[in-house]
Structure formats: structure tokens, C-alpha cells
């Protein structure tokens, strides 16, 4: 169990550029979640996958955001045409169903700065 | 919708002082409740949880009791240490299978413990 891994840890980009983040969940965890955390706030849910199926998306996830989990293992989150308001910490979490309270384990996050 | 309200920080305490961080929630049904901790530069870590009314979660000297009548889940520790300095997040997940246990977080409370 090596924990949830997110790459890159930091990303600086110019407004209008596209960015992609990767999340590698804990092996054998079938659920994968994306959250966004802005300064001084708690994380906010964006979307989640069960295996390779994306089953729920928040209203926060505009059309410029897309997430995939093609083989039910790692996931990517892409933001197209970035805006300054996209600057935040993007957190990934994973969990395994059937383990009681469905405890989510978080990665260290990818901090995005849009200039 | 679901929501979590935490006391605002920062909370500054001397080592060995008693800690209380208040958390109240609004949810439909009977959610699971969590406290997560975020140390500087690290990801969110689960500190403790409770899944039903009157359950007490505990870990590393921290405790919180699920109070349905007051919709609260206050975090307590009898004697804090400098190493407890971190940001603490209260969170809930409802048990509706359709929402897949996505977490709703409070805004976080920063704890600073001094010698």
C-alpha cells in the first residue's frame, strides 16, 4: 500500500492553456474521487469514478473540465482554456467499497497556479 | 443540501492545554462523520470517524462523539502537543448509495500549539 500519488505536485500555467493532472490510487481501490480546495476553504467535491465509470459530476465541474479513468486504475483530470479562477489545489482520493464507512484516502494534491 | 460548520481559527494553545474544535452539520438522514487533519505540505489524513449516533471515534488522544440531538461532532484532546499543529477538517458523507459517500467538508480550523 503505497498511498495515493498525484502528479505533478505543482503546475504553473498561463491563462488559456490546457493542463492535465494524474492520480494513481491505492491499488485495489475501486472508487476514485476528485476534489478542489481553494485557500482557506475545505475541499469541494468535483467528480467520482467507480472502476472506470464516471458516476457523478458536481455543478462545479464546468465544460472545460474533463476526467477519465480509462482502465479503472489511474485517473486524469484535464482543464482546458484555464482561467485565473481555476487556481486551487486539486485533490484525489480513493476508497474501496465494502469496507464499512467507505473511508477515503487522499493524495498530497496538485497545486495549480494560473497566471 | 449537506453542510458542515466549524469554528473559525486560528486556535492558539499552549502545550498540554485542552482542545475543543466545534463542528455542527446539516444533513438528510444519518450521515457518517469524520475528522481529517492536514499537516503542512501533506495530504489530508483521516484522524477519526463515527458512523452512527452516540458512536465515539478516537485516535492519537483525539476524541469526537456523534451527537444526533445537537447535530454535532466536536473534536477534543486532553493535552495537545506542538506536533498537533495542523489544520483540522470536519466532514460528513451521507449513506445514500446514489451519492457514493462523497465528502462534504467544513472550512477547516487551524491549530497552533506553542511551547
User: What's chain B's Rg over C-alpha atoms?
Assistant: 14
Over residues A14-24, the mean pLDDT reads 97
Q: Which residues of B touch A100 (CB under 8 A)?
A: 51
Peptide bond into A8 cis (omega under 30): yes
- The answer to whether the CB atoms of A56 and B99 lie below 8 A apart is yes
Low-confidence ranges of chain B (pLDDT < 50): none
Peptide bond into B10 cis (omega under 30): yes
Give the pLDDT confidence of A31-45 residue by residue, as tens digits. Answer: 999 999 998 899 999
Which pLDDT band, with edges at 50, 70 and 90, does A61 fall under? confident
pLDDT for position B17? 97
Average pLDDT, chain A: 92
Q: Which residue has the cell 476553504?
A: A41
B29: left (phi over 0), alpha (psi -120 to 50) or beta: left
* Residue B7 at interface with chain A, using a CB cutoff of 8 Å: no
Which pLDDT band, with edges at 50, 70 and 90, does A64 fall under? very high
- The answer to whether the CB atoms of B36 and A45 lie below 8 A apart is no
- CB interface of A with B, residues 34-93, below 8 Å: 35, 40-45, 48, 50, 55-56, 91, 93
Which pLDDT band, with edges at 50, 70 and 90, does A28 fall under? confident
A31, A41, A106: residue with CB nearest B43: A106
Interface test with B, best of A35, A43, A98, A107 (most B CBs within 10 A): A43
Which pLDDT band, with edges at 50, 70 and 90, does A88 fall under? very high
Q: Which of A25, A6, A36 is nearest to A74 (CA)?
A: A25
Q: Which residue from A minimizes the CA distance to B32?
A: A101
Q: Which residues of B touch A102 (CB under 8 A)?
A: 32, 93, 100-101
User: In this structure, how many other beta carbons lie within 10 angstroms of the beta carbon of residue A28?
Assistant: 9
Interface test with A, best of B6, B21, B41, B44 (most A CBs within 10 A): B44
CA distance B89 to chain A (A): 7
A98: CB partners within 8 A, 6+ apart: none
User: What's chain A's Rg over C-alpha atoms?
Assistant: 13
* Residue A96 at interface with chain B, using a CB cutoff of 8 Å: no
Over residues A100-109, the mean pLDDT reads 84
- CB interface of B with A, residues 39-58, below 8 Å: 41-46, 49, 51
pLDDT for position B22? 97
CA distance B103 to chain A (A): 7
Amino acid at each position: 500500500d503505497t498511498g495515493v500519488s498525484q502528479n505533478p505536485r505543482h503546475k504553473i500555467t498561463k491563462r488559456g492553456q490546457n493542463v492535465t493532472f494524474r492520480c494513481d490510487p491505492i491499488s485495489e481501490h475501486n472508487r476514485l474521487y476528485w476534489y478542489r480546495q481553494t485557500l482557506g476553504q475545505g475541499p469541494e467535491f468535483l467528480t467520482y469514478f467507480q472502476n472506470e465509470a464516471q458516476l457523478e459530476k458536481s455543478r462545479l465541474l464546468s465544460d472545460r473540465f474533463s476526467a477519465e479513468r480509462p482502465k479503472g486504475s489511474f485517473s486524469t483530470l484535464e482543464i482546458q482554456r484555464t482561467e485565473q479562477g481555476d487556481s486551487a489545489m486539486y485533490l484525489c482520493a480513493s476508497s474501496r467499497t465494502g469496507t464499512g464507512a467507505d473511508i477515503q484516502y487522499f493524495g498530497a494534491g496538485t497545486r495549480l497556479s494560473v497566471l | 443540501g449537506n453542510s458542515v460548520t466549524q469554528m473559525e481559527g486560528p486556535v492558539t494553545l499552549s502545550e498540554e492545554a485542552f482542545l475543543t474544535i466545534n463542528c455542527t452539520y446539516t444533513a438528510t438522514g444519518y450521515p457518517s462523520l469524520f475528522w481529517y487533519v492536514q499537516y503542512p505540505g501533506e495530504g489530508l489524513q483521516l484522524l477519526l470517524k463515527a458512523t452512527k449516533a452516540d458512536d465515539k471515534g478516537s485516535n492519537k488522544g483525539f476524541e469526537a462523539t456523534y451527537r444526533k440531538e445537537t447535530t454535532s461532532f466536536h473534536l477534543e484532546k486532553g493535552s495537545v502537543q506542538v506536533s498537533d499543529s495542523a489544520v483540522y477538517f470536519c466532514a460528513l458523507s451521507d449513506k445514500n448509495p446514489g451519492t457514493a459517500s462523497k465528502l462534504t467538508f467544513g472550512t477547516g480550523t487551524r491549530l497552533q500549539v506553542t511551547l
